[in-house]
Structure 1
């Protein structure tokens, strides 16, 4: 008998060997830790397509750190897998399609046993199979659901307690409705964690050894997907990456914890904040869009710079009472003009909508030196560029750099949060990932100085100590006086709007 075109198309769908192993696994709890390009998000698409076949009218969740991550990266990659299987997004004009996103499905489609209360951030399939998107930067809002399956993308970015106390308990019930092995599966997909807080993802590996009947753990590198990526792509990728980035991002090698940190009091869980977005519904796409919620557009902003020819960077901060917030980290590596001018433009473009265009400038004291061939210092150049874009700025950098030992002690006392009279430091974990990595990976020398060998190595420079220097420069100049260190705060140069 001649096979249909659809059956022939199904046979042409390719999965690599690691993806095949994951899809063939029968365990309810499965983890896929894969390097960049290994196909971990694609396999999530294949897995949900299989679930659609065997779990009609089931409702499950797809969790990510933010809706932005899910709608911009995860769902499009999964759609690629669905479309390889022949599924198409529903077109109301032609009446053809298999799923809709963020909208109530057509009235004649089968409904899930437990329909969502509204269809924002919901993907509905024509047989009632339903995926609810969950954003874990608002973890408390996800509580109380009842789901038949669950998937997590980039699980290493999430808190372990949110996974164990919120997500896993919601996969429950309906055992009388579904007897298929795919029911109540819980899968997570992630890259190797850069930060200690993500190391919990490897617990599935231990559980798979202790209880292989119920737990499955798989690791993969980009070379497992070479037939899709191609040898040339991997060669070009390697040539454009530092050895460390290649090892972690592509080859899936695990990082070890830094034992001799310049910031022993820094704790990513305590100081890092995920809840940095608020959400608004977009009627056109049917999905939720994110806006900054940790930045007050009516308050002035504070910038701290670090100058290097090949990597000029800044961090963006804002004071909220006793809480000092690190909001963003920006940098420029090369430019057709100068890296300083390019960084100023990048900041102005990014925060054009900020209402109160007033800044305090901190940073490397070397920025007060005049540039070669110019009568202006780096900070004067920065202030001119800011003024041209409507920003008023006050320079707060005076005097010499502080004693390294005093700086080390003062900053770590602030981070320790043992004194209620001192301000607390909070880091936007969505936008300050590399600032956190820079802090976590900054060693200390025997003479109390920060070990800056990473700035001279081939490591990707956003992972080096530059961004942590931005942090030091603003925090110590702002709060050093609280530790008996005299700080000069008078502006030494002013330029801006009247």
Structure 2
């Protein structure tokens, strides 16, 4: 194809297959490097071309994700087609009118979350975490949907708050059979967690309704002319994780861990809670990394202490941030750095900048008991060194870990009881921020349990395997275990829970 500037564009075979599919509902399960951003930009341009002055939705899991990832990649892909910001389109402002752009048939109440093309077509940026705001789907009369990272979407929210708006018959589309009118395109790599199962069901839907629904699976093998010759070998070294490499590069779907260490963990334990008023106030022309900090989080009580949990090692230093709020244990945020970075970098580069505006400066720090071992050639333990560093960063730190590590079987029973009974049996509810803790969720959902003759244990062998990406091994799941067991085991052990009520393993 050629753009309006007569620039020659070459598409790969997977992209050609997608654009020639006549079905209006498309599921594209494409691995990394296949050209997902390019195909989204192509469909965006075709929707604008065929339906000038219409309104469409570009949707992501959260508005924060749309701002930090989708919008940036979309702009870059539009440039590939010779379409440039502030010339052919504007984002987040009403400047289009001053530039002589046509107005859409349905002018938005505000332009903060709008991509406005010169022919009057607009795309509203929508995060499923805030359906009732100006960035939500309700109240919109749209003529089509584009979804990035679709496997991260909540299918129920997608149906209620976005699909339900895909109903407008734009004046520009009343003549002829418009291929993009009321279309839906969902693009994603293979889901790594349970919540993405709905996306894969698109394959079965396509078999049942082949005239209406198209499902396509492809990898970067379809795009070899546009990637480096050693792309797959290079990416395998980069991921260094067989699980994630197979899923994101080869579309090999992860097996479900039937006998995992957290068998009671479900999608019901996950949530998102961003301060979209704050995010909507960020100019779309100023999306530098420092705007994405704890100000965007509505789940943290800024006047209360933070509970942090740290797992340190040679290959990775990982931590999670928690708060107990009434009867609910919230896991608010994950952080990690990998070698050659060290524990200092975890605090200085990640934790401290993210929580710099947190008003309460008290930290309660939990960790593996090895943190109480002394560092070579130092009077300080690992934990004391971390405390000293955090104090220099302005925090009041209380070291909470003493004694020996508890048995795995005790942690298994406590945590899975809390997950199962959800606020009953003298234990708090557990809620994990899925947008802020994606690797923790992978770590927990794929943590296996096994018995090597000493009773039930968490399978820690992935931490030693060279081919496992360490943020998806068990390190982050351990940071979940440390404070939860320390704070709630005694009251659980002294409760009236009967042995037959406890979750059991098949081992």
Tell me the TM-score normalised to structure 2 length. Answer: 0.88
In structure 1, the residue corresponding to 2:491 is in which secondary structure? helix
Residue 98 of structure 1 pairs with residue 88 of structure 2: yes
In the other structure, the counterpart of 1:193 is 191
In the other structure, the counterpart of 2:259 is 260
For 2:302 and 2:268, how far apart are their aligned partners in 1? Answer: 25
Match of 1:165 among 136, 160, 173: 160
**Displacement of 1:197:** 1.1
Report 1:348-427 matches (<5 A).
348-420=352-424, 421-427=426-432
In the other structure, the counterpart of 1:330 is 335
**Displacement of 1:103:** 1.1
Shift of the 38–122 alpha-carbon distance from structure 1 to 2, 3 Å rule, reads: same
In structure 2, the residue corresponding to 1:279 is in which secondary structure? helix
Q: Determine if contact 2:52/2:172 at 8 Å carries over to the other structure.
A: no
Report 1:266-281 matches (<5 A).
266-267=265-266, 269-280=267-278, 281=280
Report 1:70-219 matches (<5 A).
70-90=66-86, 97-104=87-94, 105-106=96-97, 108-141=100-133, 142=136, 143-174=138-169, 178=173, 179=176, 180-219=178-217
Q: Determine if contact 1:32/1:217 at 8 Å carries over to the other structure.
A: yes
* Cα-to-partner distance string for 1:399-451 (whole Å, 9 max, x where unaligned): 22223322211111111135534211111111211111111111112312111
**Displacement of 1:175:** 6.5
Q: Determine if contact 1:148/1:184 at 8 Å carries over to the other structure.
A: yes
**Displacement of 1:459:** 0.7
**Displacement of 1:228:** 1.4
Equivalent pairs, count: 472
Q: Determine if contact 2:332/2:437 at 8 Å carries over to the other structure.
A: yes
What's the Cα RMSD here? 2.2
* Cα-to-partner distance string for 1:357-410 (whole Å, 9 max, x where unaligned): 111111101111222222211111111111111111111111222233222111
* Cα-to-partner distance string for 1:241-263 (whole Å, 9 max, x where unaligned): 22333211212211110010111
**Displacement of 1:223:** 2.1
In the other structure, the counterpart of 1:490 is none
Q: Determine if contact 2:29/2:217 at 8 Å carries over to the other structure.
A: yes
In structure 2, the residue corresponding to 1:316 is in which secondary structure? strand
- Structure 2, unpaired ranges of 5+: 496-507
Q: Determine if contact 2:91/2:114 at 8 Å carries over to the other structure.
A: yes
In structure 2, the residue corresponding to 1:187 is in which secondary structure? strand
Tell me the TM-score normalised to structure 1 length. Answer: 0.89
Q: Determine if contact 1:28/1:214 at 8 Å carries over to the other structure.
A: yes
Runs of 4+, deviation exceeding 4 Å: 4-7, 286-290
Shift of the 328–5 alpha-carbon distance from structure 1 to 2, 3 Å rule, reads: closer
For 1:149 and 1:355, how far apart are their aligned partners in 2? Answer: 43
* Cα-to-partner distance string for 1:118-143 (whole Å, 9 max, x where unaligned): 11110111211110110111134422
In the other structure, the counterpart of 2:221 is 223
For 2:450 and 2:144, how far apart are their aligned partners in 1? Answer: 50
Residue 470 of structure 1 pairs with residue 479 of structure 2: yes
For 1:432 and 1:36, how far apart are their aligned partners in 2? Answer: 21
**Displacement of 1:8:** 3.7
Residue 300 of structure 1 pairs with residue 305 of structure 2: yes
